[in-house]
Amino acid sequence: MIARILTIAGSDSGGGAGIEADIKTISALGGYACTAITAVTAQNTTGVYGIHFLPGAFVGLAIETVLSDIGADAIKIGMLGNADIVRSVTAALPGNIPVVLDPVMVATSGACLLEPDAIALLRAELIPRAVLITPNLPETLALTGILPSEAADFELAGGVFLGMGAKAVLIKGGHGDAEIITDVLIHAGGMETFTHPRIAGSNTHGTGCTLASAIATGIAQGMTLPDAVRRACRHLQNAIAQAPGFGQGHGPVWHGAGG
């Protein structure tokens, strides 16, 4: 049976991140994507020029409508935007479907994508529902007060996330400046690192969305969490390496690269 993944995220008019990146990635890895759109944006590779949030009740209705008919084997959550949407998404989530949470807070261009009053709700209500949370380094700092640079820092920050109720956390090292990027997976069973060379260039728009939706697809397909992360990292490396070079700013990756 084809794995079903429900993605809850914002729409990127430029096609590089958000719902568009999720659908392309899930499809490339053999899954079936359903969506609940939290916001529509006017953006391209140079920045975000407008955001229109959908009412939280409508987002919740979209989730419930999809799940009551098509169902899902995993749920990926990305951009939520405000407290109203966080509350509605949390209320609509069933307890028996694994959730991968990408805590989208700031766009590659620097635009704020999560309002301050929503952050406390994310910590208290949504992180405890996640089988995996995938913060980058700035998001890790914002949510835990820790900016990891060494193994002990990653372990300490990971412990904070587990203390919030997450079953596992993948702290992504791409925002560092090392030539070898290290992503660290922390869960109750221990810690595992995934390393890959940094690929030069500015075509990194949508990397977080692509990675999280790829992991969710792997989980939906029955992979173990480490194997799902490993394939997702490989897929993202291929996607960056094969980026089409569109636009004048941070161009999109090639989501269809495969794992």
Report the catalytic residues: 172, 204, 206-209
Number of H helices, E strands in the chain: 8, 9
Neighbouring C-beta atoms of residue 161, cutoff 10 Å: 27
Does residue 84 sit in helix, strand or coil? helix
**H helix intervals, the chain:** 18-28, 56-69, 83-92, 116-121, 137-144, 151-164, 207-220, 225-241
* DSSP H or E stretch at residue 206: none
| Residue 197 burial (10 A CB sphere; 0-12, 13-18, 19+) | exposed
Q: Are 4 and 73 in contact (CB under 8 A)?
A: yes
Q: Are 31 and 2 in contact (CB under 8 A)?
A: yes
d(CA 138, CA 145): 10
Residue 185 phi, psi (nearest 5): -100, 120
Quick one: CA torsion of 91, 93, 98, 101, rounded to 10 degrees? -60
- Residue 187 DSSP class: E
Query: Please, what's the b/e burial string for 212-232 (b: 16 or more CB within 10 A of its CB; e: otherwise)?
Result: bbbbbbbbbbebebeebbbbb
